[in-house]
Amino acid sequence: MYETLGFWKHYIKNNKNVWQGLFKNIPLSKDSLFIQTNIYNGNQMHNSWACYPNVESLMGFIKYVFFPSVIVTWLTREEHDEVIYDVDNPYDLLDMLKDDIKEKYKRDIKDIKAQLDIIDGMKGLSRGDFIKEVTKLSNSFNSRWFTNRTYMVFNVYSSPKELTDDIIRLYKSEGLIDILEEESGLTVYQWREMVGSIYSSKFMKRKFVDILNNKLYTLTI
């Protein structure tokens, strides 16, 4: 189901938000995966957190929603200074755009296709192997698609603890722990306490991602 473009077109057409919050309003579980997406282009920034229930649904989002949005935003960044959201087959989209873009972007198309091939190669992987491979991909992706004016970033986390540890690490490395605590209304101890018992709390299984989207402003991962 999640491996088809038709699902994503239909789902988004019905005004469903796939970029942030709980996908299909499914509470987080130990199988859940988290994704942070950050796209900046000129005068607009997109930054959000979402929780997907399993590997298949997250792979579908990355392939049919995130990558098409990255492709259009990156390849038209000289003509547009905004984030362009799209849902499409990314290979078809690249084929459609390749004759219309400038020669200097030909290398970009080649590199995007290579990264798409890596995503397709993850089909059928176990959850653990998928996390290893998608983490390697995000590291290379985040360093590749970056300029002072435009950049594209995504990060995947396998648990609330892993995600929280990374947030705390980032704020601490910048000397901004006090800002994290002020923005979120939670001390570092309370962050760790929250994620330590999150699976036993019906409330937090639904609200954790909302905290990420609504309470963190200063830094992006």
Over residues 207-212, mean pLDDT: 93
Structure-block tokens of residue 68:
């098409």
- What confidence tier does 10 reach under pLDDT thresholds 50, 70, 90? very high
Q: Assess whether pLDDT exceeds 80 at residue 90.
A: yes
If you compute the radius of gyration of the chain from its CA atoms, what whole number of angstroms results? 18
The pLDDT score that the predictor gives to residue 219 is 59
Residues 6+ apart with CB under 8 A from 181: 187, 188
Write the single-letter amino acid at 48: S
Encode pLDDT of 57-75 as tens digits: 999 999 999 999 999 999 8
Q: Assess whether pLDDT exceeds 90 at residue 56.
A: yes
Secondary element (H or E) of residue 4: none
Lowest mean pLDDT among 120-124, 132-136, 186-190, 217-221: 217-221
- What confidence tier does 105 reach under pLDDT thresholds 50, 70, 90? confident
CA distances 162 to 33, 94, 196, Å, are 11, 34, 11
Q: Is pTM, for the whole model, over 0.85?
A: yes
* pLDDT over 90, % of the chain: 78
- What confidence tier does 15 reach under pLDDT thresholds 50, 70, 90? confident
The pLDDT score that the predictor gives to residue 217 is 66
The pLDDT score that the predictor gives to residue 218 is 56
pLDDT mean across residues, the chain: 92
Give Cα 183 to chain centroid, integer Å: 22
Q: Assess whether pLDDT exceeds 90 at residue 153.
A: yes
